[in-house]
Amino acid sequence: MSTNVRYSVIIPMFNEEAVIQETYRRIKKVMGTIGESYELLFVNDGSTDNCAQMIEEYSYWDESVKLIDLSRNFGHQIAITAGMDYSLGDAVIIIDADLQDPPELILKMIEEWKKGYEVVYAKRIKRNGESLFKKWTASVFYRILRYSTDISIPVDTGDFRLIDRKVCDELKRLPEKNRFVRGLVSWVGFRQKAIEYERDERLAGETKYPLKRMIKLSLDGITSFSYKPLKLAGYLGGLLSAGGFLYLMYVLYLALFTDAAVKGWASMIGITLTFNGFVLIMLGILGEYVGRIYDETKGRPLYIVQEFYGGRVQKTVQEPQVAQLNK
């Protein structure tokens, strides 16, 4: 393969043994129709199954396949970042390994890129195979994020997109640790265009974004691009303090100028608990921001690569295995 790579396809993977062979086959088939040079960058994000070993074997006889084997699980967004750091292509394509995003859409992305768009992202108009709860929470998150930030982050989009080399180079200059890649792509700007599609059901395996990881991703997105939660906490604190002061004046009025007994200690306790709860929530919001500041000051690398495979052809794999994979 020429050292001049036209397209780099980044495929982050975490325990995708059940689907990785079909992922490789479909992406390979799509890229083979383009007629230009390309590389397939599989990023192993600390998998405990055999998906990394499978990709390593593919790299022995397919020189387009490269494996970036991270030393542990650093997270999906960091795995994408590692792929961008190692990519060589004029255009960089990001796609997950679970085949919920159809590789065939890459061809349309390339068409729009050749028309002059530096970012071409896939926008979901339908999400097949996902629960109503996940669809609803995803919809709410994207709209909260759009309202909270000062930049325009497209709703109903994931990381499935094509970015130009100049965009990739700008993203590599952004050093923050708690990364939200789709937000960073919007932040750097450039000419962007959406392509609508229906997201497929996962082919095999289990989702790598359970509720806990979805919450963390949401917090990373909101805190990375907005300080409105801090302002909102301040506004609510002022409102509740004003309400508490007025109630205190009312109690003092009853005690000093009327014969009515001061009642309502239960309500006073309730109000006290409400105020204390609000204070704890505000401290939690502050803690999220302070924790991210602490992460940035430590200066640790985003990831550690323990092995890199690819860019060579080895004749150690029997021909029948190659033929089987290309069926």
Render 225-248 in DSSP notation, one character per residue: H--HHHHHHHHHHHHHHHHHHHHH
DSSP-derived pairing of the beta strands 192-199 and 119-127: parallel
Give, in order, the Cα–Cα distances in Å from 112 to each of 105, 198, 322, 327. Answer: 11, 19, 33, 30
Structure tokens at 154: 């497209």
Instruction: Tell me the sheet residues that pair with 9.
Output: 40, 93
Distance of CA 84 to the CA centre of its chain: 14
- pTM reported for the whole predicted model: 0.68
Per the listing, tokens 């926008």 go with 123
Give, in order, the Cα–Cα distances in Å from 190 to each of 119, 149, 187, 193, 261. Answer: 7, 18, 9, 10, 68
Give the per-residue pLDDT at 313.
Answer: 40
Distance of CA 100 to the CA centre of its chain: 15
CB within 8 A of 290, min separation 6: which ones? none
Strand intervals (E) in 252-294: none
CB 9 within 8 A of CB 95: yes
Over its length of 327 residues, how does the chain's per-residue pLDDT go in tens digits? 335 888 999 999 988 888 899 899 999 999 989 888 999 999 998 888 888 889 988 888 888 899 999 988 888 888 999 999 999 989 999 998 888 888 999 999 999 999 989 999 888 877 665 666 666 666 666 666 666 666 777 777 778 889 999 999 998 888 777 788 888 888 888 888 888 887 766 555 565 555 566 666 666 666 666 666 666 666 676 676 666 667 667 666 766 767 665 566 656 666 676 666 667 677 777 777 777 776 667 777 888 888 888 865 433 333 333 334 443
The helix/strand/coil state of 19 is: coil
